[in-house]
Amino acid sequence: MNFIRKITSSHSQKDEAFFMMMKSILGYNPKNISYFKEAFTHSSLKKSDAEGHSINYERLEFLGDAILGSVIANYLFKKMPNADEGTLTQMRSKIVSREHLNELGKDLSLKKFVQSNIPNQNFGDNIFGNLFESLIGAIHLDKGYNFCEKFIYRNVIEPYVDIERLEGKITSYKSVLIEWCQKNKYKIRYQIYEDTGNDSHKHFSVKLLINNELVAKGRATSKKKAEEIASKRAYYKNQNQINP
């Protein structure tokens, strides 16, 4: 405790609380807490340093994304010695998918640390994955690649990566559905329209038609997500035909 008091003696109790929370997530005492503060600083604050460089998590997110991909690639390379490049790439994409990263960020409750001019409830789910990547970037700057690797093994690979299960995981229901329709010469069409409803954020709704028959609907904050939701619903409606 004396060590922590020395580090935070010139800072507020709020800083000390943040230090302790980061320590519990990381599993070690951060050397430079400013990296982690930046990892949770949203661009809406428009913060900058003395030289005019922006201070927010976006650059750390870029760094963390690259390191995460590298660690996962190295793990798969060793774990799947008979897999070709295409298979390894697909497996890595499944592990570091936006959906999976968002879940990892939720598990660590990262959104509660965000410093922003935007109310937390207005953020979409992608904020969780963005913060998870920026946290990895901060760990790399603070302690180096080896600590990043340990963190990723502890929080991603050991609890979540099951090679056999991932080999059968679908990453894009839309792609599977389009391939099935092309194979059977079915006409597939997505009708997209803007749908604000009573929500504060713009939403898009989509109708998925196969051979001009309405098969499924989807609604989300982006066209791509809405299409994927509708495609997933259509896939499970027709699963016995798609996978006879």
Q: By three-state DSSP, how is residue 109 classified?
A: coil
Of residues 38, 61, 65, 227, which has the active-site annotation? 65
Neighbours of 28 (CB within 10 A): 14
Q: At what angle do helices 145-152 and 58-79 cross, to 10 degrees?
A: 70
Identify residue 97 by its one-letter amino acid code: S
Distances from the Cα of 207 to the Cαs of 28, 92, 213, in angstroms? 49, 31, 10
65 among known catalytic residues? yes
133 among known catalytic residues? yes
Long-range contacts of residues 224-233, Cβ cutoff 8 Å, at least 24 apart? 226/192, 227/174, 227/190, 227/192, 228/172, 228/173, 228/174, 230/190, 230/206, 231/172, 231/173, 231/174, 231/176, 231/177, 232/173, 233/208
Identify residue 223 by its one-letter amino acid code: K
For the chain, the residue count is 244
Of residues 133, 142, 149, 228, which has the active-site annotation? 133
Which residues are tagged catalytic? Answer: 65, 133
